[in-house]
Amino acid sequence: MPSTTTNGKVIFNEKISSGYPVPGKTVVYDESEQLDLSSVPLDGGFLVKTIVLSVDPYMRGLMSESPDVTGFALGSPTASYGIGRVLRSESPQLKTGDHVYGFLSHEQYSVHPSSSSLRKIEKSPELSWSTYLGAAGMPGLTAYSAWKEYALSTGKGLVAFVTAASGPVGSMVVQLAKADGYKVIASAGSDDKVEFTKKCGADVAFNYKTTSTADVLKEHGPIDLYWDNVGGQILETALAHANMCARFIECGMISSYNGESYGPKNLQLLYTKHITMYGFTVVNLEDKYRDDFLRTIPPKLVSGELQHMEYLLHGLDKVGEGILAVQKGVNRGKAVVVVAEE
């Protein structure tokens, strides 16, 4: 391998009080560091070449000025789930050529201690590494683990409503709900995204920007299970059209990430309708469900039983562009930055 090389990085440059992140301002791409791959000290750890990086909605919160959030450190690389290849190793757990998965800094090369939380990963030959950041990775596991934990195992005669249903989490939820017998209502933000939710099996699919959510739920509800990725006024509408004893699974609230949060005005329905609301993050559930997920989901992706869609950007310098695309919802499918080939 080449010895001294440029180590490109995506640096967190400016916190955001409101509005969208700005590529080249909120984050900047920097190529000032030169790294000698053959001699950089490992101190018992290992050197990783970044292959692919995930871009996800939660990253906006890590850029906030809020004192309640421990986010990215100014002047340091941003980070997200990623996959890399071990170039050199002094760790007994990993050898040169192994692939690792976990939270990676946004730089082309990085050194990690032996105690790193990165874990070895192997993939199916029929799937790409990018898929292991989407349907076979954290977003897929998010959907799978919370669905198994909080949804009723049989949905026959029940109605599920899934928002942001064309995304990597929502589209997996649509398919899990259909497999369990639910009638599925799915909303998305463009007509082509609506078509993808239909491909995933949604019984009723609509563009929430051009069609009234309330009208759809009035006609096709009431809903027994609500998977919430957006919060805000749609959460309020879902509460209004929920059945008695409905379950609400709160996965995200992207409608409030880049502006003022909208608080539902009908929260009293939680008790008058005996609604149960579950909030979660995948870190609380992944240890319980990871092995079952990896046994179950990748083979179904290979066979085509499960559908997924990817939005690939090529080059580490495209991270800022990817973050903005995800926040504005212009990405079609799971956003992944392809940093390098093997």
Is the sign of the CA dihedral 129, 134, 139, 140 positive or negative?
Answer: negative
Segments of the chain assigned to CATH 3.40.50.720: 138-283
**Band of pLDDT at residue 70, cut at 50, 70 and 90:** confident
Instruction: Residues 138-283: name the CATH superfamily.
Output: NAD(P)-binding Rossmann-like Domain (3.40.50.720)
> What's the per-residue H, E or C state across 92-128?
CCCCCCCEEEEEEECECEEEECCCCCCEECCCCCCCC
DSSP string, 162-230: ESSTTSHHHHHHHHHHHHTT-EEEEEESSHHHHHHHHHTT-SEEEETTTS-HHHHHHHH--EEEEEESS
238/248 Cα distance (integer angstroms): 9
Q: What is the pLDDT of residues 285-306, one digit of tens each?
A: 999 999 999 999 999 999 999 9
Q: Are 99 and 84 in contact (CB under 8 A)?
A: yes
142/140 Cα distance (integer angstroms): 5
pLDDT at 103 over 70: yes
235/212 Cα distance (integer angstroms): 13
Question: So what's the pLDDT on residue 301?
Answer: 97
- Biggest CA–CA distance in the chain, Å, is 67
Question: So what's the pLDDT on residue 256?
Answer: 74
Segments of the chain assigned to CATH 3.90.180.10: 4-134+309-338
The arithmetic mean of pLDDT across residues 98-121, rounded, is 95
Question: So what's the pLDDT on residue 242?
Answer: 98
**Band of pLDDT at residue 229, cut at 50, 70 and 90:** very high
pLDDT at 29 over 60: yes
CATH topology of domain 4-134+309-338: Quinone Oxidoreductase; Chain A, domain 1 (3.90.180)
Closest CA to 340 of 132, 113, 48: 48
Q: What is the pLDDT of residues 172-189, one digit of tens each?
A: 999 999 999 999 999 999
Across the chain, mean pLDDT equals 94
Question: So what's the pLDDT on residue 285?
Answer: 97
Question: So what's the pLDDT on residue 154?
Answer: 86
What is the distance in angstroms between the CA of the first residue and the CA of the last residue of the chain? 12
pLDDT at 2 over 90: no
